[in-house]
Structure 1
Amino acid sequence: MRESAVVRHDRLLALVRERGTARVSDLAAQLGVSPVTARRDVEALASRGLLDRVHGQVSWPGGSGGPGAAPGAAGRGAAGRAGAEWRPGGEPSGAAPGTGPVLGLLAPSATYYFAEVIRGAREAAAAAGARLVLRISDYRPEDDRARTEGLLAAGAEGLLVAPGWRAPGDQAEHGDWIAGLPVPAVLLERRATPGSALDALDRVSSDHRHGVVLAVRHLVGLGHRAPLLVARADSPTALAVRSGYAEALGALGLEEPGPVIDSVPAELDPDGFEAAVRALHSAVASGRATAALVHNDVDAIQMVQRLAELGVRVPGDLALIAYDDEVAALADTPLTAVAPPKRQVGRLATELLVERLARAAAAGGEGDDDGSENEPRRHVTLLPRLRVRASCGAAEAKPV
């Protein structure tokens, strides 16, 4: 896949930030591009004030620190910003737009699930008078670091980090650098491995195990046996739903009705998706399952459509709950769905980050990296809700 200009710019900024000064010809060799392309990139970044260029060399902008320094450390930080008085309570005095800190947000996507997370972050940033800068990794964890370097180069004084992890091993392979960031950081909708360096960071996330418990308990309460789980395995949410399913069955004293059915996006792997539909159809036809929990909404809607073509009706033959509640209500038969508090996650994570920066400003930069050595780190977990609609055969009700 050809590298985009945005990714290449992030890599270039990371190289200059690491070295302090570099020759354009050396950057071209490091980036694997022609000198012409490297010069064009340098000119574009210099025109935005992200680099200084003199006689064939580029350097980190003057007055903003050398290699490894936090952007904004010399006069642009929250403590040194003219006209913005930060208070330890996390609220700026007179939070006019643009008077607060610059916050960077790394997200794996700007659509579907993370659109609401970003919305919440933007609302909280606006309330604090902060500027929010967004970078998207497109679920490529190998690009997370370069994208984050781009946020730092853009002046981010604090970071909200939702890495683009997909597989179980991605955190270990692509995540250690996050713990060494030179500015305060909050993990967003991600949980670190217990005992790892990342586990010592602030984080705000949804409790997907609780969400699965809500779904299973609701279906059992309607008279069904334990539901089958149909789930992807390509994101932290999908993996959390899978592990939460096993925990939920154990907590509720239920036997697993069968192995988890692996789902995949229909547009990327039509045969794999059809195999998942056929597996669920077989379970219903044999009487082994009368209910299912499907992650995510898109897969659930497409499965309901395909099952109808095969003669299985929802909710007549199969009670179904979707997980995510992004578009579940728009199905022909509106789907009951688990709704993680996505918008609230973004908002609370941003408020926590703004508070960290405010305390650092009040402390004058003394102590640890954010000037708040006496403040414990926080792991904030928010509970999903269940939105009951027509796909379980029960009357619609308020969220539980």
Structure 2
Amino acid sequence: MRESAAERHDRLLALVRERGTARVADLAALLGVSPVTARRDVEALAARGLLDRVHGQVSWPARTERPERIDRPDRQGDPGRRRPGEGLVLGLLAPSATYYFAEVIRGAHEAAARAGARLVLRISDYRPEEDRARTEGLLAAGAEGVLVAPGWRGPEDRLAYGDWLAELPVPAVLLERRADPGTPLDALDRVVSDHGHGVLLALRHLLELGHGSPLLVARGDSPTALAVRAGYAEALGTLGLDAPGPVIESVPADQDPEGFERAVRALHEAVLSGRVSAALVHNDVDAIEVVQRLADLGVRVPEDLALIAYDDEVAALADTPLTAVAPPKRQVGRHAAELLVARLTEVRGGAEEEPARRHLSLLPRLRVRASCGAPSGDRPA
């Protein structure tokens, strides 16, 4: 199977992370790509703040932005005040360093820098069987606490590769992952996006525009995709709606062209039959390609179909800018890192009573653009 750009970006980030600094030409050789491809990848990752680039070399960034110095005199004249996480080392395990999780990582990195802590990153490439070993590698690298977004793709992965998380010898915070109630994992701190609320925002907006029950086109290969599906069923019940048809199974066009074409044809038939005039599509990339293919088949967005995408990574860049649900990815990373720093600071301070664990759900926003046929602007949670 041909390697995707996201997979190549993850390998590139892992190489730079291991070496600290590397020449672009050396990275091209290690990745097995042309120097032009390596240079473009480096430029894309540097633009997102994931790498520093200087004179043909790249390095792992010391921070994503210059933190405020808290150890200088402040307005109250308190010189020498230590930042709460001064000297701490935080570990972060993510399934990917691109697309959705790039912003999560950035938020965690910024929060760690502001607290005076160092963040160490490892990538699992969505291989949950390797999550434990990679997390142990973070501990060996000096991490005193960890932020963990396991590489689960579905409930079966959580069952097969989840129990070890509750047995870690250091504080841990789950990122964008939920656990079954009553399980050891459910007792961990966690910070997540409330995807069910995001789906409800999208469906309610389409109803307010005069459409009937929107149809869902969604993947089924990630926790986010499964949460969107579950949120869709719950939102229909909340709004008193019946589904206009079964959820259309979405697949990446580059990995399964025939499956992608089946999904587009199913949506095309639903529009032509008059069953639907609105749809929610997970994720942005799929939504952009769906709109392009529908145009080939004579279905226009938003004239014939009002469409909302889920993720808001690249939705604004489509020919017809896509209205999108935007999970608070960067804030998830920031709040998770702040929570871990607070937990470690409490441990460092020798708290007499163990603080209560916390489950924090952050609400997505709806960013309205041209694809739903309504005036542009943010819709608050």
The reply to whether TM is greater than 0.5 is yes
| Partner-residue secondary structure (3-state), 2:372 | coil
The aligned residue for residue 234 of structure 2 is 247
Please list, as runs of the form range in 1=range in 2, the aligned pairs for 1:192-271 lying within 5 A after superposition: 192-271=179-258
Give yes or no for contact 2:365–2:378 (8 Å, CA) kept in 1: no
| Partner-residue secondary structure (3-state), 1:359 | helix
Give yes or no for contact 1:100–1:128 (8 Å, CA) kept in 2: no
Letter aligned with residue 294 of structure 1: V
Select the residue among 370, 374, 377 that pairs with 1:394.
374
The aligned residue for residue 172 of structure 1 is 159
The aligned residue for residue 76 of structure 2 is none
Q: Residues of 1 paired with 2:361 and 2:303: CA distance? A: 36
Q: Residues of 2 paired with 1:93 and 1:107: CA distance? A: 32
Q: Residues of 1 paired with 2:86 and 2:239: CA distance? A: 51
1:312-337 deviations in whole A, cap 9, x for unaligned?
00001000000000000000000000
Please list, as runs of the form range in 1=range in 2, the aligned pairs for 1:35-54 lying within 5 A after superposition: none
Q: Residues of 1 paired with 2:192 and 2:132: CA distance? A: 21
Question: Is residue 276 from structure 1 mapped to residue 263 from structure 2 by the alignment?
Answer: yes
| Partner-residue secondary structure (3-state), 2:290 | helix
The aligned residue for residue 95 of structure 1 is 83
Q: Residues of 1 paired with 2:248 and 2:172: CA distance? A: 36
| Partner-residue secondary structure (3-state), 1:230 | strand
Letter aligned with residue 374 of structure 2: A
The aligned residue for residue 378 of structure 1 is 358
Letter aligned with residue 169 of structure 1: E
Q: Residues of 1 paired with 2:356 and 2:161: CA distance? A: 26
Q: Give the TM-score normalised by structure 2.
A: 0.78
Q: Give the TM-score normalised by structure 1.
A: 0.74
The aligned residue for residue 38 of structure 1 is none
Letter aligned with residue 320 of structure 1: L
Q: Residues of 1 paired with 2:284 and 2:377: CA distance? A: 19
Letter aligned with residue 272 of structure 2: A
The aligned residue for residue 62 of structure 2 is none
| Partner-residue secondary structure (3-state), 1:398 | strand
1:236-294 deviations in whole A, cap 9, x for unaligned?
00000000000000001011110000001111111111110111001001111100000
The aligned residue for residue 148 of structure 2 is 161
The aligned residue for residue 29 of structure 1 is none
Please list, as runs of the form range in 1=range in 2, the aligned pairs for 1:303-342 lying within 5 A after superposition: 303-342=290-329
The aligned residue for residue 39 of structure 2 is none
Gaps of 5+ in 2: 2-9, 12-70, 72-79
Letter aligned with residue 379 of structure 1: H
Please list, as runs of the form range in 1=range in 2, the aligned pairs for 1:69-88 lying within 5 A after superposition: none
Q: Which has the larger radius of gyration?
A: 1
Identity %, equivalent residues: 76
1:194-244 deviations in whole A, cap 9, x for unaligned?
111000000000000000000000000000011000000011000000000
Give yes or no for contact 1:291–1:320 (8 Å, CA) kept in 2: yes
Q: Residues of 2 paired with 1:372 and 1:200: CA distance? A: 20
Letter aligned with residue 170 of structure 1: D
Question: Is residue 187 from structure 1 mapped to residue 188 from structure 2 by the alignment?
Answer: no
Q: Residues of 1 paired with 2:151 and 2:107: CA distance? A: 19
The CA deviation at 1:99 is 4.0
Give yes or no for contact 1:141–1:174 (8 Å, CA) kept in 2: yes
The CA deviation at 1:100 is 2.1
Question: Is residue 350 from structure 1 mapped to residue 350 from structure 2 by the alignment?
Answer: no
Q: Residues of 2 paired with 1:321 and 1:372: CA distance? A: 50
Q: Residues of 2 paired with 1:167 and 1:328: CA distance? A: 25
Select the residue among 275, 278, 281 that pairs with 1:291.
278
The CA deviation at 1:161 is 0.4
Is the alpha carbon distance of 1:210 and 1:129 closer, same or farther for their aligned partners in structure 2, counting shifts above 3 Å?
same
Letter aligned with residue 261 of structure 2: E
Give yes or no for contact 1:106–1:136 (8 Å, CA) kept in 2: yes
Select the residue among 119, 129, 134 that pairs with 1:147.
134
Q: Residues of 2 paired with 1:379 and 1:398: CA distance? A: 26
Give yes or no for contact 1:338–1:386 (8 Å, CA) kept in 2: yes
| Partner-residue secondary structure (3-state), 1:303 | helix
| Partner-residue secondary structure (3-state), 1:381 | strand
Gaps of 5+ in 1: 8-83, 85-91, 364-370
Please list, as runs of the form range in 1=range in 2, the aligned pairs for 1:361-376 lying within 5 A after superposition: 361-363=348-350, 373-376=353-356
Moved beyond 3 Å, runs of 4+: 371-374
The aligned residue for residue 19 of structure 2 is none
1:120-139 deviations in whole A, cap 9, x for unaligned?
00000000111100000011
Q: Residues of 2 paired with 1:264 and 1:373: CA distance? A: 49
Letter aligned with residue 173 of structure 1: A
Letter aligned with residue 361 of structure 2: T
Question: Is residue 118 from structure 1 mapped to residue 98 from structure 2 by the alignment?
Answer: no
Letter aligned with residue 349 of structure 2: A
Give yes or no for contact 1:229–1:260 (8 Å, CA) kept in 2: yes
Is the alpha carbon distance of 1:282 and 1:108 closer, same or farther for their aligned partners in structure 2, counting shifts above 3 Å?
same
Letter aligned with residue 385 of structure 1: R
Q: Residues of 1 paired with 2:155 and 2:195: CA distance? A: 16
The CA deviation at 1:95 is 3.3
Matched pairs, number: 306
The aligned residue for residue 77 of structure 2 is none
